[in-house]
Structure 1
Amino acid sequence: MATRYRRMEEIARSLPALKEPQGVRRRVEAMEALLERLVTIPGTKRQLGLDVILDVVPGVGSIAAGALGAWMIWEARNLGMSKWQMARMAGNVGVDTLLGAIPWVGAIPDFFFRSNTRNLRIIKRHLDRHHPATVTLDGNVSRSER
């Protein structure tokens, strides 16, 4: 029992802190990839994510996708982003959720209006401006700016 507890403590120490900018960047990039770029449609360069797939499920699908998009706004709050930026992000998620609420047809506009990608751009812009040490190049953290 004690070794299991120690192992859990080691794992907890190795995880990035909730408000650590570098950890936030990795988490929101991973969430955006899951929601918007999960698979590539064969024969095209268009990517499809969980956001569009969930919109095919009537009712709960668009609500679940909206909740996952709202999680990115919560991460933005952890970074201390301005209320204006978070309001823009909430607007993106709101439009996406409303478009996705239309049964079956809602997946089509959701395929083109990628709110999570837009929100990731807003978060990255904030991180690049206020936390330049988190800038990534080809998936690796740039250490030269530290």
Structure 2
Amino acid sequence: MNSATPANDPLRHVGVITKLMDKQFRVPGTGFRFGLDGLIGLIPGAGDVTTFAVSCYLLTIMARNGASGYVMARMVLNVVLDMLIGAIPFVGDLFDFAFKANSRNLRLMQEHYVEGRHRGSAWKVILPVLLVLLLLMIGMVWLIYRVLSSLF
């Protein structure tokens, strides 16, 4: 008999929160599921911050319970992608309903524990992510420069 509860079984705890955030509700007559992530994300600004905080909490639990550097890098990439695209008005809201970063991360963690996949160094994920972030920062600086130079 398994007496594990979500509070003392980290993977199950993450599963419960992930279901609530990504797949709690179903559109009647379809197989499409969504959760609080998509709904809360509809609140401009505060919704994105709230769902990002929940995703970071889940990442913390997974890191404390033995996720490899490679798995953590992939999970962080999912959360950052969800945050960046989710912050775009309207498009980001649709993306939040479809992408389901927490479910992707839970699947990665289950594969890591159960199948023994995703071991090794995180650098093969981190370096491209850092390069993309650097390019985004350069693009933002360029865009701000162009806007300010056209105004003045």
| Uncovered stretches (5+) of structure 2, i.e. residues with no partner | 1-6, 117-152
What is the percentage of aligned positions where both structures have the same residue? 35
TM-score after normalising by structure 1: 0.70
TM-score after normalising by structure 2: 0.67
**Structure 2 match to 1:60:** 46
**Structure 2 match to 1:76:** 62
Which one of 26, 34, 39 corresponds to residue 48 of structure 1?
34
Q: CA separation in 2, counterparts of 1:129 and 1:100?
A: 31
Deviating above 4 A after TM superposition, structure 1's stretches of 4 or more consecutive aligned residues are: none
Which one of 54, 57, 73 corresponds to residue 87 of structure 1?
73
| Uncovered stretches (5+) of structure 1, i.e. residues with no partner | 1-14, 17-22, 131-146
Deviations 1:30-66 (A, max 9, x none): 0110111111112211011011001100001011111
**Structure 1 match to 2:105:** 119
Q: CA separation in 1, counterparts of 2:35 and 2:51?
A: 10
Q: CA separation in 2, counterparts of 1:129 and 1:105?
A: 35
Task: Report if the CA contact (8 A) 1:55-1:104 is conserved.
Answer: no
- The alignment's C-alpha RMSD in Å is 1.4
Task: Report if the CA contact (8 A) 1:59-1:103 is conserved.
Answer: no
Corresponding pairs, count: 110
**Structure 1 match to 2:85:** 99
